[in-house]
């Protein structure tokens, strides 16, 4: 469509003409004429085309299999995962749109900083298992794409078998004596348990809003939650809450000593429904439409289902995929000596 050199002399000439036209009547006409000759970036999509780069944020805390930890490969430091593949699809579509290659510049930052950086305009978008439908002031003021991953529902895992049994017993008791307010069912299933959540993720926001009687342990990352639990620090973590695809992946491949909380039927216990979306600035209307269209096409073509299968069901080793198809990232933005952090016990509500 367009191929522009942002530093061409005509751009300077354009600036001069615009400056001169400020004091004249009919400057809109001049602007229109100039715009035909040298189009000026009018929105965030044009701006990406001009830069030939798209600034993308990703959490440095791993959300397996969506974002794996940064590792070293034969090609250098790389990051991989389902979310990275989504980024590649979006970037490829941007390159097509801009008619010149657009490079994704990945910024690996702490999950909580993604929102700040987007707010400050340092990112065009970010992708990190963020649910679009989380009612919280901390999620206000941002725009969420249509989902790229359905069923990112919140669930829990436990290390001790008696906890799993206790939750089931609570659920059985509820079936026998349903509470007057059915909405309290989940709260009662987890009654009296110490629950760990990753700070500012949907599981944290959910727990804060709905599990008011539980003791909460706020962790900087999922690895930190496991580390806290392994250390048997008082209070012992009974349950770790999080997105079921992440927790399910962890207990089936990485932490096989933990298990998902299940209903008496054996089906996973879900606390709420979630869908993962790409996050953008609220006023990035064209970029939002663009990303929505890319995701819609991926969904319609069956690619999203393929992605899900590829990352959640297939047997693979992420270092291999990181080496073969991972993306490099901007090292400068990554926290030096990145620490997966720790956990702290929240004061009782």
Partner 1 sequence: MKRVWIALTAVLLTFATFQFVLLQSGWAVERGEAEETARLLAKLLDAGRSVIEQNQLLIDDRHKGNKGFTPEVFEQQLIQEFRQQTGIDLSKVHSMPASVTLPPTAKELLFDLVLASKEVVSDAQVVINQRGIGYKNFIPATYGSQAAARFSKQSHIRLKQTALHPRNPKNEPDDYEASVLKRLSGLPRAEEYVSELIDHGQTLHVVMPIYYVTACLTCHGEPKGDLDISGYPKEGHLEGDLAGAITVMTPLTVGGVNR
Stretch that binds partner 1, among 38-46, 109-117, 200-208, 223-231 (CB under 8 A): 223-231
Q: How far is the CB of 284 from partner 1 (least distance, A)?
A: 29
**Residue 223 is a binding residue for partner 1 (CB under 8 A):** yes
Identify the helix (H) or strand (E) that includes residue 142: strand 142-144
Out of 46, 208, 227, 292, the residue judged to bind partner 1 by CB under 8 A: 227
245 binds partner 1 (CB under 8 A): no
Which is closer to partner 1, CB of 2 or CB of 320?
A: 320
Which range in 121-129, 138-146, 194-202, 335-343 contacts partner 1 by CB under 8 A?
335-343
Does position 341 interact with partner 1 (CB under 8 A)? The reply is yes
Residue from the set 128, 221, 259, 275 that interacts with partner 1 by CB under 8 A: 221
Long-range contacts of 157-160 (CB under 8 A, 24+ apart): 157/239, 157/240, 157/242, 157/247, 157/250, 157/251, 157/258, 157/259, 157/260, 157/261, 158/238, 158/239, 158/240, 158/258, 158/259, 158/261, 159/229, 159/237, 159/257, 159/258, 160/238
Rounded to a whole number of angstroms, the minimum distance from the CB of residue 219 to partner 1 is: 10
Q: How far is the CB of 78 from partner 1 (least distance, A)?
A: 9
Q: Which of 71, 146, 263, 312 binds partner 1 (CB under 8 A)?
A: 71
Residue 305 or residue 331: which is nearer to partner 1 going by CB?
331
298-327 residues near partner 1, rule: CB under 8 A? 316-320, 322-323
d(CA 7, CA 41): 13
- Between residues 245 and 341, which has the closer beta carbon with respect to partner 1? 341
Please, which residue, 224 or 327, has the CB nearer to partner 1?
A: 224
Return the bridge partners of 144, or none: 279
Q: How far apart are CA 198 and CA 214, in angstroms?
A: 15
| Among residues 270, 292, 338, 344, the one that binds partner 1 under rule CB under 8 A | 338
The answer to whether the Cα torsion of 161, 164, 170, 174 is positive or negative is negative
Residue 62 touching partner 1 (CB under 8 A)? yes
**Which residue shows structure tokens 């809003």?**
209
Shortest separation between residue 110's beta carbon and partner 1, angstroms? 12
Q: Does 24 bind partner 1 (CB under 8 A)?
A: no
Nearer Cβ to partner 1 (25/315): 315
Size of the site for partner 1 (CB under 8 A): 29
Q: Return contacts of 95-102, CB within 8 angstroms, 24+ apart.
A: 97/1, 97/45, 97/49, 97/290, 98/1, 98/2, 98/48, 98/49, 98/52, 99/1, 99/2, 99/3, 100/3, 100/49, 100/52, 101/52, 102/48, 102/49, 102/52, 102/53, 102/54
The nearest distance, CB 224 to partner 1, in angstroms, is: 6
How would you label 255-271 residue by residue, b for 16+ Cβ within 10 Å and e otherwise?
beebbbbbeeeeebbbb
Instruction: Tell me how far apart the alpha carbons of residues 219 and 344 are, in angstroms, rounded to a whole number.
Output: 6
Is 73 a residue that touches partner 1 (CB under 8 A)? yes
Which residue's CB is nearer to partner 1, number 263 or number 334?
334
* Residue 65 interacting with partner 1 (CB under 8 A): no
Query: Checking DSSP bridges between strand 53-59 and strand 103-109, what pairing results, if any?
Result: parallel
CB neighbourhood size of 31 (10 A): 15
* Distance in Å, CB of 312 to partner 1, minimum: 16
From the list 17, 30, 40, 77, which residue makes contact with partner 1 (rule: CB under 8 A)? 77
Q: Does 12 bind partner 1 (CB under 8 A)?
A: no
Q: Locate 336 and state its tokens.
A: 């030096």
Site residues (vs partner 1, CB under 8 A): 62, 69-77, 221, 223-224, 227, 316-320, 322-323, 331, 334, 336-341
């Amino acid at each position: 469509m367009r191929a522009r050199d942002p530093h061409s002399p005509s751009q300077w000439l354009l600036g001069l003409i615009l400056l001169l036209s400020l004091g004249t009547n009919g400057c809109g006409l001049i602007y229109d004429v100039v715009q035909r000759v040298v189009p000026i970036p009018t929105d965030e999509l044009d701006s990406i085309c001009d830069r030939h780069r798209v600034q993308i944020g990703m959490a440095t805390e791993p959300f397996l299999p969506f974002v794996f930890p940064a590792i070293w490969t034969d090609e250098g430091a790389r990051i991989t995962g389902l979310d990275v593949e989504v980024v590649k699809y979006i970037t490829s579509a941007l390159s097509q749109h801009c008619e010149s290659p657009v490079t994704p510049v990945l910024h690996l930052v702490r999950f909580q900083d993604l929102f700040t950086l987007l707010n400050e305009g340092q990112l065009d978008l970010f992708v990190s298992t963020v649910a679009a439908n989380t009612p919280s002031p901390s999620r206000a003021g941002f725009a969420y794409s249509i989902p790229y991953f359905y069923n990112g529902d919140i669930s829990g895992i436990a290390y001790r078998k008696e906890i799993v049994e206790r939750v089931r017993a609570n659920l059985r008791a509820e079936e026998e004596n349903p509470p007057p307010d059915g909405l309290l069912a989940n709260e009662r299933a987890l009654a009296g348990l110490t629950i760990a959540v990753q700070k500012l993720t949907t599981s944290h926001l959910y727990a804060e809003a709905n599990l008011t009687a539980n003791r909460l342990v706020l962790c900087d990352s999922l690895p930190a939650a496991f580390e806290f639990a392994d250390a048997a620090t008082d209070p012992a973590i009974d349950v770790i809450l999080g997105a079921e695809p992440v927790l399910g992946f962890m207990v089936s491949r990485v932490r096989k000593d933990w298990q998902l909380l299940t209903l008496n039927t054996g089906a996973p216990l879900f606390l709420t429904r979630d869908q993962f979306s790409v996050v953008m600035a609220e006023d990035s209307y064209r970029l939002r439409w663009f990303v929505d269209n890319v995701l819609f096409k991926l969904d319609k073509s069956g690619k999203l289902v393929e992605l899900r299968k590829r990352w959640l069901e297939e047997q693979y080793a992420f270092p291999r995929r990181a080496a073969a198809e991972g993306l490099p990232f901007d090292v400068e933005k990554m926290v030096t000596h990145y620490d997966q952090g720790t956990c702290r016990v929240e004061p009782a509500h």
